[in-house]
């Protein structure tokens, strides 16, 4: 285990837009990639899990997420880490919600001081890429070094290991 790497992620199972249709996912796309990254790096996994869950219905979930974004909400999380001081690198995974990170991720980012940390954003999406999440991340964590993120189509997460490995190598996390 590489205790210097934290793989923190938000992911949602249930109805998701994949390819060009709505499908029911037993495990969210971001969680699949986060687990892959933790296995490759030996980093510690932490699921960013809001107390109030989003609907498993895709359309209702998008409406809930839009309301949170418009309100600049900080939904309470079910669990928090005691500290992130032991970590040098945070790999932050999330799906693209309205061109940025879901608001529970903002709650996580507001909770800790990321000064001196390196953050690698990982975004799953179905065509919208990273959106403005990287610039939002830089504003939320001004003392951190935010490296170029990796955007993976949700429909391609199960076959993304080579792409993920290359990204982690480029960031100096894998030999």
| Number of helices (H), then strands (E), in the chain | 5, 8
Cα Rg for the chain, rounded, in angstroms?
15
Q: What is the pLDDT of residues 134-148, one digit of tens each?
A: 999 999 999 999 999
Fold of the domain built from segment(s) 5-169: Rossmann fold (3.40.50)
pLDDT tens-digit readout, 94-124: 999 999 999 999 999 999 999 999 999 999 9
The answer on pLDDT for 1 being more than 60 is no
- Spans of all domains in the chain: 5-169
DSSP state of 75: P
């Amino acid at each position: 285990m590489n205790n210097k790497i934290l793989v923190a992620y938000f992911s949602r199972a249930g109805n998701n837009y994949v390819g060009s249709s709505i499908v029911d996912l037993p495990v969210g796309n971001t969680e699949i990639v986060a687990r892959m990254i933790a296995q490759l790096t030996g980093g510690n996994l932490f699921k960013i899990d809001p107390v109030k869950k989003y609907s498993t219905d895709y359309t209702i979930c998008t409406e809930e997420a839009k309301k949170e974004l418009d309100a600049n909400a900080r939904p309470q999380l079910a669990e928090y880490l005691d500290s992130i001081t032991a970590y040098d690198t945070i790999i932050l995974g999330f799906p693209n919600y309205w061109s940025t990170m879901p608001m529970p991720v903002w709650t996580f980012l507001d909770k800790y001081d990321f000064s001196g940390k390196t953050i690698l954003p990982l975004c799953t999406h179905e065509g919208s890429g990273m959106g403005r999440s990287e610039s939002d991340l830089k504003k939320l964590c001004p003392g951190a070094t935010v490296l170029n993120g990796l955007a993976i189509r949700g429909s391609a997460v199960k076959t993304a290991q080579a792409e993920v490995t290359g990204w982690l190598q480029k960031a100096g996390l894998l030999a």
